[in-house]
Amino acid sequence: MEQTILIGGAAGQGINAISTIITRLLTSHGYYVFNYRDYPSLIRGGHNFNVVSVSRSPINSTLSKIDVIIALDKNTIKLHKKELNRKSFILTYENYPSAGRNLNLLLAAEYLAKSGFPKAKLKQYLKNEFKVDLSDELDKIYNKYHTKSELKKLDNKLSLMNGSLAIATGAIKSKLDLYVAYPMTPSTGVLHELGLAQNKNLMVFQGESEIGCASMALGSSFAGKVVMTGTSGGGFDLMGESLSMQGQSEIPLCVYLSSRPGPATGVPTYTAQADLDIALRSGHGEFARVVAAPGDAEESIRLTNEILHYTYKYNTLGIILGDKHLAESEFSFKGHTKFLPVKFSRDIPGKSIAKASSYEQNKSGNTTEDARVVKKNFIARSKKYNSIKKDLEKNIDMIKIHGKKDSKNLILAWGSTKGVITDVIKGLDVKFLQVLYVKPLSKKIKQELVKAKKVILIENNQTGQLGRLIREKTGISIPEKNRILKYDGRPFWRDELKLELKKRGIK
């Protein structure tokens, strides 16, 4: 079974509440769900919609065709009716003219009734989570719409979370002391999730600007606290000088960069993978960093922990690179994460004499411009980066291989494209190499590229930034005809990507 449900209306009508009810209850019933959010940069009005995909097996992407529309207004039907499959139906606001503020809850109930979901479980959920008793209304809805057979409960114990909550979870499990950030979509979700966390050992602070936040993060880290800061592309640009300060002072600094389309303000509530270049190169001068790009919620938990571990182990810059699609989409998954310890490996004020400076320093921590010392320091920073590479290659999964392991057709991609690619390649003669760490790059990538007869690059940007990086590091260039690039602010739809792969001979 798989079903695609579009929930649409104006901002403020409770669209997210409907998707929350459906996704949480179906997940608790053992079904996999994926929830995609689409909304303009408006607080009220406009047209917002969520697309919830439900399946008996793992699912992490969306189809362009819809099985069910749940419409909170007339505009939703007008805009999306053409996307309906032949065997489909619309649940409309017109059926509940006197519902008032509970319209969204009743529409969610109608969908669940038609799906055969147990009424008693829905009643209890609404009482617990929304503090409302809609017993009479639910009885009427279930009497009218409930199917003859109950929806089968599956034996799957699943977690459900979006990328923002997953990153917050990974940070808390890593014993984060402080998160300091200035709100900027789509990174703000992590700020909110950590702010809501009931953790007495965690401080969450909203700074006055991204420049201030990066500086505060450095100062707090120097003082002996495990710290993260987070932002999106424009804010990350402002942090550039502080990133370079990290490279010289070697105060550990962990940054969450959640991308959206640019340049400038761009399309602030949509998605793109266009910030790989700045994650790799922001900050003047030459210094070490580690950059990881999770592809779903489960990986976001694990990679957040890993980045914090290596940031503090090597006193380096660590970047968790995501985007709007990862941050705000909801994923259901099995699995458990083993957490690495996050420990300081430098002097901490109050425990020993600690020095840090933006200038080159000699072994006593004093400023120097001596050519021999300057060169020696550059070599030391380079050796540290080589140590990081060896450590990662030996102890961490820097890449993942999905699909048909012995295929000569290879898909190369990173980050949030993982979900749609793993869904599309089921049954196809292709394997998918997912790059988890974009800096440093695993030496296994070149080994896989050399073995392949056909390599296809998939990215949510215009210039194929991962492809350029691969060419720089391996000397292997992916032909333009084998690049599938999307850059309209939207993620890949599953049927759209499948067609593009078919055009390139992947069947």
Query: Based on the domain organization, do 376 and 479 belong to the same domain?
Result: no
CATH of the domain at 208: 3.40.50.970
Clarify whether residues 297 and 411 are in a common domain: no
Q: Is residue 154 part of a domain?
A: no
State the Cα–Cα distance between residues 319 and 232, nearest whole angstrom: 12
The tens digit of pLDDT for each residue in 77-112 reads 999 999 999 889 999 999 999 888 999 999 999 999
The whole-model pTM stands at: 0.96
Shared domain for 139 and 183, answered yes or no, is no
- 103 with 180, same domain: the answer is no
**pLDDT score at 43:** 83
Token pair in block for residue 263: 């340049």
The angle formed by the CA atoms of residues 206, 130 and 77, to the nearest 5 degrees, is: 90
d(CA 168, CA 164): 6
pLDDT value of residue 163? 98
Based on the domain organization, do 294 and 391 belong to the same domain?
Answer: yes
Q: Say whether pLDDT at 1 is over 80.
A: no
Residues 247 and 382 in one domain: yes
Token pair in block for residue 351: 């425990």
In the prediction, which pLDDT does 55 show? 97
Q: How many CA atoms lie within 13 A of 347 on its CB side?
A: 10
User: Does some domain include residue 151?
Assistant: no
pLDDT of residue 447: 97
Which CATH number characterizes residue 467's domain? Answer: 3.40.50.920
**What integer pLDDT is reported at residue 335 of this predicted model?**
81
Q: Using 50, 70 and 90 to split pLDDT, how confident is the model at 151?
A: very high
pLDDT band per the 50, 70, 90 thresholds, residue 148: confident
* H or E, element range at 455: strand 454-459
**Long-range CB contacts (< 8 A, 24+ apart) of 426-429?**
428/403, 428/404, 428/501, 428/506, 428/507, 429/404, 429/506, 429/507
The CA distance from 331 to 297, in Å, is 6
Residue at a domain's end among 395, 422, 451: 395
Q: Is residue 485 in some structural domain?
A: yes
Domain assignment present for residue 229? The answer is yes
Tens-digit pLDDT profile for residues 20-61: 999 999 999 999 999 999 999 988 889 999 999 999 999 999
Kindly report, residue by residue over 206-240, the tens digit of the pLDDT: 999 999 999 999 999 999 999 999 999 999 999 99
- Say if residue 138 is in the same domain as residue 188: no
Concatenated DSSP letters of 131-150: ----HHHHHHHHHHH--SSP
Question: 242-256, 327-341, 469-483: which range is least confident on average?
Answer: 327-341
pLDDT mean over 9-29: 96
Q: What is the mean pLDDT of residues 372-392?
A: 97
Kindly state the average pLDDT of the residues 457-475.
Answer: 98
Q: Shortest CA distance to 478 belongs to which of 461, 500, 457?
A: 457
CATH number at residue 40: 3.40.920.10
Q: Which of 362, 330, 339, 403 is nearest to 172 (CA)?
A: 339
**245 neighbors 196 (Cβ within 8 angstroms):** no
d(CA 132, CA 112): 17
User: In this structure, are 130 and 237 located in the same domain?
Assistant: no
Q: How far apart are CA 112 and CA 124, in angstroms?
A: 14
Same domain, 31 and 90: yes
Cα 204–chain centre separation = 20
- Please, are residues 307 and 254 in contact by the beta-carbon 8 Å criterion? yes
Burial 367-381 (b: 16+ CB within 10 A, else e): ebeeeeeeeebeeeb
Q: Does residue 473 register a pLDDT over 90?
A: yes
Query: 157 in a domain, yes or no?
Result: no
End residue of a domain, out of 375, 395, 415: 395
Distance CA 369, CA 391 (A): 32
Q: Where are the alpha helices (DSSP H) in 98-232?
A: 103-115, 119-130, 135-145, 163-173, 188-196, 210-222
**Residue at a domain's end among 115, 145, 175:** 145
Strand spans (E) along 324-453: 330-333, 399-403, 409-414, 431-435, 437-439
How far apart are the C-alpha atoms of 119 and 351, rounded to whole Å?
A: 60
Domain check: are 296 and 237 in the same one? yes
Give the chain's mean pLDDT: 96
Q: Quick one: which of 455, 410, 451 has its CA closest to 431?
A: 410
Domains in the chain, number? 3
Q: Does the residue 279 lie in any domain?
A: yes
| Same domain assignment for residues 471 and 388 | no
User: 255 - beta bridge partners?
Assistant: 229, 319
Report yes or no on 128 lying in a domain: yes
Residue 156 counted as domain residue: no
What pLDDT is recorded for position 351? 92
Among 31-40, 143-152, 302-311, name the one with the lowest average pLDDT.
Answer: 143-152
Owning domain of residue 68: 2-145
User: φ and ψ at 292, to 5 degrees?
Assistant: -120, 145
State whether 196 and 69 are in the same domain: no
